[in-house]
Structure 1
Amino acid sequence: MNKSPAWAKLLDSLFEVRQTERLWHIPLLASLCAGIPLAAGLYFGQLRYGILASTAALVILYLPASTVAHRMITMLACSFGILVCFTTGIIFSFNEIVSSIVFGVLSFAIQWVANYFRMKPPGSFFFIMIAAIASCNPFDAATIPAKVGIVGMGTMLACVLAFTYSLYIVRRIPAGTEVIQIKRKPYHNTVESAIMGVFMGLSLVIAHLLKWQNPYWVPISCLAVLQGVSLHHVWQRSLHRILGTFVGLGITWLILHLPITPLFICISIFVLQFMVEMLIVRHYGLAVVFITPLTIFLAEAGSAMTTDPNVLIPARMLEIAVGSVIGAFAGWFIHHEQLRERAARHLRKTRVMIMKK
């Protein structure tokens, strides 16, 4: 029997909805982590800080299905990682080139650690995402402590909700101890992480050189595509992201023509977050349709009520398309077995030569 061509598989993936055993509890937890800080920010008239805390609180998505002790250790470790990524990114945001270089190095380190400990999805995604957002923040040394504190509060909320939920769920569904798996190919991990770091930094540099208003859209789109586990999966995600974004931007364009209020944005983010987490494990392209308005509301909460949708939407489409294309090229390098093997061999030889001296 002849195998289907690659393009046919890509087209088939547009209509394939996967089955999943994921409980609806996690989407609800993610929505609460996004909604509670937003409600607090709306109440105190600090919606932007509320959105920053909401983004940090998505660390809840790293909650494993294990014992209460292991769940909380994982949450605390990931929360610390989120704080380190955000703090590093915002400290070096004073210069576009320096920020891009540091972001590339930070992406390398994050990816290396995620691969070394074989972190399950979303893996390195949210750590690199929050580093990208921080790297593109307008530099103001006086506000850095407050912003870092807000991020810490967001992760604290996630830990409290995770602990409360864990006490409930382990009584209902007993979980075994999850053993941490360590990757045993350090050279291959280094090569893959280095490629990730180079393309993350490069995508941010390109966005800065093009003088785009929100340059972090490019590396985040690049990163989303690179979450694929194989080259075919990377190209599939790239296609899904571009098509899903196109549909999602059309929906966002319609929404932005409605009377927009801060309360409307908060409710929309809560609902959209739930929809995304319900769909992301079933169909990536369909999830992207909801991810698009969600991310725009999160990133453009202040300006969404005043910006002309006819200007905002084309700008986001271009940035996401460029990031997806860069991610597809990066995926080719990461999943090129001969290239990775050759680079790992050179690293091994270099280390041996250094040890002999």
Structure 2
Amino acid sequence: MSLSSILKDLLSLNKVARPWHLPLVTGFVIGLPAIFGALTNTFGEALLSSLGAMVFLYMSGDRTASRMLTMSLCAFGFMACLTLATLSTVLPWLPPFALTAIAFLVILITRYYRLPPPGSFFFILASCVALAMPFDLGAVSNRVGLIALGGMWAVLAAFVYSVVTQAHKAEPQEITVDPQVNALIIEAALTSSVLGASYGFALWIGMNNPYWVPISCAAIMQGATFRMVWHRNVHRVVGTTLGMLLAALLFSFDPSPLVLALCICAFQAIVDYLIVKNYGLAVIFITPLTVIMAEMTSLGMSASLLLEYRFIDIVLGSFFGFIGGALFHRTDVCRRIEAKMSPRSRLSDLL
């Protein structure tokens, strides 16, 4: 494949029809808790509610009742992931194993019930953010409550949006599951192991608060084919570099919490518009968005140092994601394991 064709693939825009107002509503729903926090001097805590409000991204194209059920279950999943990840930080060696277990269950469940994109990604994001927070047993209920409030707000906003857009008139979609359970177990085991390994490696080499390493790894491994994995890898590194420049420009003005909250609204709206058209362009705005969201775990870290850590985290996570994607898509290891898991196989074949 020539360099020009590769660049054309990387820079091409997908033709996906979406309501023009949906990205604007998404930015408002996710950014409103942060705006409220900025106005009440609780910006750091409110960012956790904004994370919970990302449940709005799971609003499907189905009828209103199905939307409410799906989003409510996703909100509960966010709370469960945050709780388990927070409790695992009681021991310094436990988080990588806890992340592996959480990711395995989340990936298996979301893939089995064919949850559309972003799939398992934001469940893993909530877990990784919790791992970056200092362990405080007394603060667990407060953190879970904050993310629950964000989820409740997102569900309420989705209900109002569904009524206004008359989603109740949509044709009901049949609920289906993926019957290839063995393949899903293998996929979940491989992906979760790579995620846990990436986080464990980042902790082992002494990286500061490296929760974005497994997040980047998860984003890369969501590619359906090896070509998509490679594209996402290039997109993420190049997009991150440009996004870092944008974030550096933003923080050079020493913005107030209210300005940062408004930036969350704007960046999220832009990301929601671009993510289905070109992942690389979306990453340019995802990067400053995540740097702002990192305020809940950065504990007053300087903006320049925070940007440096985020860039290193994303590059390392992209490397692990590329390796994991290569193992999954470029080898027949998974197919061999699946064959041995077949009910027709003899017990001796499994040994």
Q: Distance in 1 between matches of 2:92 and 2:20?
A: 41
Structure 2 residue runs without a partner (length 5+)? none
1:317 aligned to 2:311? yes
Q: Distance in 1 between matches of 2:346 and 2:67?
A: 40
Q: Distance in 1 between matches of 2:54 and 2:249?
A: 27
- Alignment: residue pair count: 349
**Change over 3 Å in CA distance of 1:346–1:306 after alignment to 2:** closer
CA-based RMSD of the aligned residues comes to 2.1
1:197 aligned to 2:159? no
1:272 aligned to 2:267? yes
CA contact (8 A) 1:53 1:155 kept: yes
Which whole-Å deviations, capped at 9, do the CAs of 1:160-215 have from their partners, x for residues lacking one?
001111111126x8311111221111111111110011011111111211222221
Which whole-Å deviations, capped at 9, do the CAs of 1:105-151 have from their partners, x for residues lacking one?
11011111111111111111111111111122110001111111111
TM-score normalised by structure 2 residue count:
0.94
Q: Distance in 1 between matches of 2:123 and 2:296?
A: 21
Farther off after superposition, 145-154 or 35-44: 35-44
TM-score normalised by structure 1 residue count:
0.92
Q: 2:341 aligns with which of 324, 339, 347?
A: 347
Q: 1:59 aligns with which of 52, 55, 74?
A: 55
Measured after TM superposition, the shift of residue 260 of structure 1 is: 1.8
Which whole-Å deviations, capped at 9, do the CAs of 1:303-336 have from their partners, x for residues lacking one?
5976152x33222211110000100011112224
**Change over 3 Å in CA distance of 1:143–1:211 after alignment to 2:** same
CA contact (8 A) 2:45 2:296 kept: no
CA contact (8 A) 1:38 1:54 kept: yes
Percent identical residues:
31
Report what 2:128 is aligned to.
Answer: 132
**Change over 3 Å in CA distance of 1:159–1:90 after alignment to 2:** same
CA contact (8 A) 1:94 1:138 kept: no
- Look up the equivalent residue of 2:23 and give its one-letter code: P
Report what 1:98 is aligned to.
Answer: 94
Q: Distance in 2 between matches of 1:291 and 1:202?
A: 24
Q: Distance in 2 between matches of 1:110 and 1:302?
A: 23
Measured after TM superposition, the shift of residue 273 of structure 1 is: 0.6
- Look up the equivalent residue of 1:197 and give its one-letter code: S
Report what 2:237 is aligned to.
Answer: 242
**Change over 3 Å in CA distance of 1:350–1:128 after alignment to 2:** farther
- Look up the equivalent residue of 1:151 and give its one-letter code: I
Counting only pairs closer than 5 Å after superposition, residues 155-304 of structure 1 correspond to structure 2 as 155-170=151-166, 174-300=169-295
Q: Distance in 2 between matches of 1:351 and 1:37?
A: 53
Q: Distance in 2 between matches of 1:67 and 1:183?
A: 21
CA contact (8 A) 1:125 1:223 kept: yes
Q: Distance in 1 between matches of 2:2 and 2:342?
A: 35
**Change over 3 Å in CA distance of 1:305–1:353 after alignment to 2:** closer
Counting only pairs closer than 5 Å after superposition, residues 147-158 of structure 1 correspond to structure 2 as 147-158=143-154
Report what 2:22 is aligned to.
Answer: 26
Farther off after superposition, 88-97 or 230-239: 88-97
Structure 1 residue runs without a partner (length 5+)? none
